[in-house]
Amino acid sequence: MGKGIFHRSELLMGQGVMQALATKRAILFGIGGVGSWCAESLIRTGLRHLTIVDSDRVDVSNINRQLMATCKTVGQVKTEALKNRLLEINPDAQVTPIQQIYGRDTADQFRLEDYDIVIDAIDSLSSKAHLIRHAVGLNVIFVSSMGAALKVDPTRVRVSSFWKVQGCPLARKVRKMLRKWQVDEQYFPCVYSDEVLENEGAYLLKVSDEEDGVAEDEALPGDPALARHTWDAKKASINGSLAHVTGIFGFTMAGLVIQRIREEVKYRELEASSIEA
């Protein structure tokens, strides 16, 4: 099957880009409604080395928007469930699952300098800000996603320099935190939407309390108790989100990575042709 999987990718982008994709090492933080689709797009296009980081297990509430979440995978570790999905696409891919939270206390466990690509699809405000502070100082391709919840309109998904994002409450809060840390305003692309809706539904959700060993709890969306069951307990609330929006966010991030790799290859090819001439 091998090369045939990527025939259409190579037809469009050429052998040089495909070779670059096959050798690049990427790490993706957060594989929920955004990150899972980003991972799928990268592997389908030809990326071979991908590390996926998330601490959560698949919950029934994930099924409406997360790639690997199905009725059959509920209860499975998310990174393992997604790895299995990605290897069904390309069995030769090297997918490394890490069931862990990225944050101030765990950052040293991840050697970001060992990667060519760092992708931020983290939900937690503080963890996202910490990753950005770390990644922008490295010589890597870095892309970030802001909040994809509370949105319905796909035409309002945008790409901009993170420091110029307008209308996104999460971006505003992250920028405030980074400025407090005196982080330089270096450019990196960010996917966002300026649409901010309100949750119109309110209902009880059954969730399992793994931390406290309680069999079942009940919590309303937005209840801090419910946040304990997400991939990072520091998230402030649970908001409604839809697959078509989170998917666009994820696919757009993958597109930014692929576009950057293509540009680098084309630049090197142009340099080589100029020297030969």
The pTM of this model reads 0.87
- The predicted structure's pLDDT at residue 255: 98
Cα–Cα distance list, 235 to 106, 183, 201 (Å): 17, 22, 20
Span 89-124, pLDDT tens digits: 999 999 999 999 999 999 999 999 999 999 999 999
- Least confident range from 128-142, 210-224, 256-270: namely 210-224
User: What's residue 110's pLDDT?
Assistant: 95
Q: Quick one: three-class SS letters along 258-277?
A: HHHHHHHHHHHHHHHHHHHC
Taking residues 165-174, what's their average pLDDT? 96
* Paired tokens of 178: 């980074």
Tokens matching residue 35? 């990150």
pLDDT single digits (tens) 123-138: 999 999 999 999 999 9
pLDDT of residue 236: 45
Q: Retrieve residue 136's tokens.
A: 């922008």
